[in-house]
Amino acid sequence: MKSTLLAGAVLAFATATSAHAQAIKLADVAELSGGGATVGTNWKNGIDLAIEEINAKGGVLGRKLEVTHADSQSNPGVARAQVQKALDAEPYVLLGPGYSGSVKVTAPLAAEAGITQIMGGEAAELTQAGNKFLFRTSFGQQSSMPKVAKYIHDDMKAKSVAVVWVNNDFGRGGRDVVVKELDRLGSKVVADLSTEAGQADFAADVGKIKAANPDAVFVYLNEEESARILKELKRQGVAAPLMGETTLIGQKVIELAGDAANGARGHVGLTTDAPVDLVKGFRERFSKKYNYVPDHNGLKGYLAVYMVKATTEKMGKVDSKAFADALHGLTIKAADEPGILMDVTFDQNGDIDRQSFLVEVVEGKQVVKQVLPKVK
């Protein structure tokens, strides 16, 4: 009897370990608390949804996906420690973080370990450091800003532009690219205004915009500051059309700015309002599971997992070391892998090329006005 029990226990243990060895382990480090909690929570939920779907359909190459989530507390120092811990467990692929600053300090760790890192950061410099293991899930500024400048010049027909930006890595990176592009296209930058992160009072900045009397205003601030400047622009009656990025026309900004957000336009790499059936389906499944409408970070997390699936199936094997090479130059078509939602191509730097959207806020809702095609 005793030996039967023992044999049973050994068998159970063996089954458990073999099932464990079968699973493909992913590690996620994200902003689950602190200032980036909205970013990280959406990202995490996107990941969990994708894994649930993939596992329900039999996993990747017959193996289930498993993920561990760690909290960076929106702090680059904590992110670094958490990534190191995650890498020590030798994951197949590292997912996250979402903040560019946290990506910047963790990317060298993943590269050193030879583990591919699929992240949510958008700062231009991230993919320009020659890191062969880093991949984006959304546009970097060097891909999105030329599209923005082109729209301001071609569609808004603005000959003079005021550029307002936030004085940090994110703001300065975007400002540099957009000013260069506007200059190249022949739109004159008549006001170049730097503002501070966390700034509460925009009366003087808006006063300067008013004095410069531009044909269009490009606003590149974080969400809360975007809402404040939108209110001030309305308060001082600035009539010039407003153009920005995701941070100008996001759901949070619309909620904070109210009426003042109406009419603002923005270039959006990823939006759950995209007129694409697969994206609509994602939005529906996500909202059903989590009881709220995801933002673009939810899409990023979801796409990250499907990037892992598509690349692994393309290789035909689970090989952590060969993963990055396989993803460089890869085009994943939504027709072959519906989870990728839209056709996407990865270049040698880990940057992506994908169609994007021009969104306008109409009566407090994001409305996609135009689909901007893939560059290549």
Partner 1 sequence: MSNMFDLLVAGLATGAIYALVAVGFTLLWQTSQTINFAQGEFVMLPAFLMLAAMHVGAPFWLAIILGILLSMILLGLAFKLLLVDPMMRHGVLPLAIATMALAIGIKEAVKQFFSAEASPFPSIVPTGDISILGHAVSLQSIGVLVVAILAVVGLTTLLNRTSLGHQMQAAAQNPTVARIIGVPVERMILLTFLINAFLVALASLLITPIYLAKFSSGEVLGQAAFIAAIVGGFNQVRGAIAGGLLIGVLDNLAASYVSTQYRAAVPLIFLIVVILFRPQGLLGRAEERTV
Among 195, 247, 272, 356, binds partner 1 (CB under 8 A): 195
Contact assessment for residue 68 and residue 89, using Cβ atoms and an 8 Å cutoff = yes
**Positions in 15-74 near partner 1 (CB under 8 A):** 34-35, 37-38
50 vs 179, which CB is nearer to partner 1? 179
Pick 8 or 364: Cβ nearer partner 1: 364
**Min separation Cβ 227 and partner 1, Å:** 7
Residue 50: which H helix or E strand, with range? helix 37-56
Whose Cβ is closer to partner 1: residue 196's or residue 319's?
Answer: 196
Q: Cis link prior to 97 (omega < 30° from 0)?
A: yes
Among 256, 315, 322, 368, binds partner 1 (CB under 8 A): 256
* Cβ atoms of 117 and 134 closer than 8 Å: yes
Range list of β-strands (E), 5-77: 24-30, 65-71
Q: How many residues bind partner 1 (CB under 8 A)?
A: 36
Q: Which stretch binds partner 1 (CB under 8 A): 1-9, 120-128, 203-211, 311-319?
A: 203-211
Measured from the CB atom, the residue of 30 and 193 that comes closer to partner 1 is 193
Give the DSSP H/E element, type plus range, for residue 14. helix 2-22
For the bound state, the minimum distance from the C-beta of residue 344 to partner 1, rounded and expressed in Å, comes to 31
Q: Does 258 bind partner 1 (CB under 8 A)?
A: yes
CA within 13 Å, CB half, 293: 10
With H, G, I as helix, E, B as strand and everything else as coil, classify residue 163: strand
With respect to partner 1, which residue has the nearer C-beta, 8 or 207? 207
CB of 167 to partner 1, least distance (A): 7
Q: Which stretch binds partner 1 (CB under 8 A): 18-26, 146-154, 188-196, 270-278?
A: 188-196
- Distance separating alpha carbons of residues 363 and 20, to the nearest angstrom: 51
Q: In what order do the strands lie in the sheet with 352-353?
A: 331-332, 344-346, 352-353
17 burial type by CB count under 10 A (0-12 exposed, 13-18 middle, 19+ buried): exposed
Residues 219-238 that bind partner 1 (CB under 8 A): 224, 227-228, 231-232, 234-237
Please identify, among the stretches 40-48, 114-122, 194-202, 277-285, the one whose residues bind partner 1 according to the rule CB under 8 A: 194-202
Q: Which two tokens stand for residue 71?
A: 């909290």
- Give whole-number Cα distances, 77 to 103, 146, 321, in Å: 11, 32, 27
Interface residues with partner 1 (CB under 8 A) are: 34-35, 37-38, 167, 193-196, 198-201, 203-205, 207-208, 210-211, 224, 227-228, 231-232, 234-237, 252, 255-260
